[in-house]
């Protein structure tokens, strides 16, 4: 069992800050692409979410750490509703692709605030998941955490096969943690408790020494914090620690016989008795959230699905799960994943109408697409459709054709759209019924339009539709088995997923006028039953 756990707030914020446009949902596409790229080869995607911005009654959802420290993340600017809307859409799209999502339950804190409800953060959920993983893990299990937050490096454990992959694609194992913080992963919170966390709003401890001019030095950083922590917890009898000078400087101003460890001494000297305790409470993630992770073990699959995005809904902060559709087994699955993946971070996607028009002119001027898309207007139409479904523009252009003044799309593209939709439970060729004379598609759709069955398409059907004559007749005569497969796929897709394909037709259909979205007669041999 290989589990990819995602700190979705961290992933999405990076995508959002890289530049966004609300109309084209670029941030959402970047975030989904980042997760799906990282999920290659994993059996499960687990999404850890921060709680919603507010409850239905208007109560503001805040981190439980705000009950401990008013200044916690107090300087962070609210990114606004557009940010939250795209983040919700990102989570829903990943759920539609088989991901399982979890949020913290509401927490009872000794301090109450009017209009506030306290919750754990995504970090706390991931820490809780790591504890569950340690208890349940079996042979060949692994847990990888996708995040840009170094707090989660505290969970890395090479022996338990727990690692972190940062947003630049670097895998973080124990050696990388030691190189960064100077301590093993379990001691990372101790280091952060001393050196503070600028992004979270709590300052580092004051340096115990003075500068050359007698002023205070900068606050304790990770390197010095690591020396202090190691001198307190890892020093062997008779061994001199690299932090001895600092320790002696502190002890000289306190009781020489004090048995407290170095962090406690710093705390008492500079911040009072509660300083270190507060730092630890802010730095340590909570492993004791009561969350049921059993859904992670249900029906594990080798690869996550990549369907399209459903409508957005902001759920209450409870554990969530949605059954994932089965994986496709056809060779098209690989091409489908590439063709329908939302635009990658560096895919040169337009984010407004001006950029779309400029790109359309460039595409036309290059001459590379002119055979299929003969004008800038045709290129602009393809760009608009591609952006509306979160598909890379250049891949869409490869599947688009202008025929008799209409825009046609390849059968491969149409089949990929259907296979990737959340309602599709099965859409695959029946191999033993596919040959040079006929082809068949086995299909099943869930939801309000639930249906399942087998859809056949014969060479006689192709002859009747006029496909064996005209511009594309050569392919039909030289490769009938392939052409019959694609014809069966697009006919079946349009019949039962017409609301998804919105009147899309293949070039040969447009050429022969065979553009029927709701055929009046069903093919002979078709078997259909309610799903």
Question: pLDDT above 70 covers what percent of the chain?
Answer: 70
Closest CA to 502 of 493, 489, 511: 493
Rounded-to-integer distance, Cα 267 and Cα 372, Å:
71
Nearest to 417 by CA among 347, 350, 341: 341
Average pLDDT over residues 48-62: 88
What pLDDT score does 204 carry?
Answer: 63
Q: Considering only 35-49, 148-162, 409-423, which range has the smallest mean pLDDT?
A: 409-423
Q: Is 389:308 a contact under the CB 8 Å cutoff?
A: yes
Lowest mean pLDDT: which of 323-327, 402-406, 429-433, 492-496?
Answer: 323-327
For position 30, what pLDDT does the model report? Answer: 84
440 pLDDT higher than 50: yes
Above pLDDT 90, what percent of the chain?
Answer: 19
> In order of start, what are the domains of the chain with their CATH numbers?
2-178+287-297 (3.40.50.1010), 206-270 (no CATH), 332-529 (no CATH)
**In DSSP terms, which residues pair with 427 in a beta bridge?**
443
Mean pLDDT of 2-20: 87
Classified as helix, coil or strand, 143 is strand
* Euclidean distance between CA atoms 371 and 471, whole angstroms: 14
475-493 as b/e, with b when 16 or more CB fall inside 10 Å?
ebeeebeebbbbbbbbbbb
Model confidence band, residue 12 (pLDDT cutoffs 50, 70, 90): very high
Query: Residue 308 — very low, low, confident or very high, per pLDDT cuts 50/70/90?
Result: very low
> pTM of the full predicted structure?
0.54
pLDDT, tens only, 157-188: 998 999 999 999 899 999 999 999 988 998 88
């Amino acid at each position: 069992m290989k589990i990819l756990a995602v700190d979705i707030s961290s992933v999405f914020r990076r995508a959002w800050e890289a530049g966004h446009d609300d109309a084209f949902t670029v941030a959402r596409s970047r975030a989904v692409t980042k997760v799906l790229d990282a999920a290659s080869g994993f059996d499960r995607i687990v999404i850890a979410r921060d709680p919603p911005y507010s409850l239905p009654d208007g109560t503001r959802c805040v981190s439980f750490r705000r009950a401990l420290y008013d200044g916690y993340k107090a300087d962070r600017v609210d990114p606004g509703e557009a940010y939250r809307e795209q983040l919700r859409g990102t989570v829903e799209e990943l759920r539609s692709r088989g991901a399982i999502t979890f949020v913290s339950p509401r927490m009872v804190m000794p301090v109450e605030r009017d209009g506030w409800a306290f919750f754990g953060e995504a970090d706390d959920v991931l820490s809780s998941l790591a504890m569950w993983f340690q208890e349940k893990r079996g042979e060949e299990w692994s847990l990888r955490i996708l995040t840009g937050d170094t707090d989660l490096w505290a969970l890395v454990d090479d022996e338990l096969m727990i690692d972190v992959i940062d947003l630049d694609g670097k895998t973080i194992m124990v050696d990388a943690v030691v190189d960064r913080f100077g301590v093993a992963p379990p001691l990372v919170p101790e280091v952060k408790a001393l050196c503070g966390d600028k992004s979270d709003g709590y300052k580092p401890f004051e340096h115990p020494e003075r500068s050359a001019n007698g002023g205070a030095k900068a606050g304790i950083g990770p390197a010095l914090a690591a020396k202090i922590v190691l001198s307190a917890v890892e020093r062997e009898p008779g061994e001199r620690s690299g932090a001895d000078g600092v320790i002696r400087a502190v002890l000289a101003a306190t009781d020489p016989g004090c048995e407290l460890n170095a962090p406690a001494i710093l705390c008492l000297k500079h911040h009072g008795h509660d300083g270190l305790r507060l730092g630890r409470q802010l730095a340590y993630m909570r492993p004791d959230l009561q969350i049921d992770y059993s859904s992670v073990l249900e029906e594990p699959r080798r690869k996550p699905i990549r369907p399209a995005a459903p409508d957005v809904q902001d759920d209450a902060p409870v554990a969530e799960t949605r059954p994932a559709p089965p994986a496709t087994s056809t060779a098209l699955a690989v091409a489908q994943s590439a063709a329908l993946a939302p635009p990658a971070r560096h895919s040169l996607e337009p984010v407004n109408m001006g950029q779309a028009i400029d790109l359309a002119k460039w595409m036309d001027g290059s001459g590379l697409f002119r055979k299929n898309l003969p004008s800038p207007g045709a290129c602009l139409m393809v760009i608009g459709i591609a952006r509306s479904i979160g598909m890379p523009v250049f891949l869409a252009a490869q599947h688009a054709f202008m025929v008799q003044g209409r825009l046609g799309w390849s059968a491969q593209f149409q089949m990929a759209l259907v296979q990737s939709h959340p309602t599709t439970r099965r859409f695959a060729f029946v191999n033993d019924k596919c040959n040079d004379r006929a082809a068949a598609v086995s299909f099943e759709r869930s939801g309000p339009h639930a249906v399942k069955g087998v859809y056949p398409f014969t060479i006689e059907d192709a002859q009747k539709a006029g496909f064996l004559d005209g511009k594309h007749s050569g392919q039909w005569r030289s490769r009938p088995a392939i052409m019959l497969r694609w014809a069966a796929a697009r006919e079946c897709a349009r019949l039962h997923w017409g609301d998804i394909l919105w009147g899309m037709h293949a070039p040969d259909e447009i050429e022969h006028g065979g553009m029927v979205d709701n055929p009046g007669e069903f093919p002979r041999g078709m078997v259909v039953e309610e799903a």
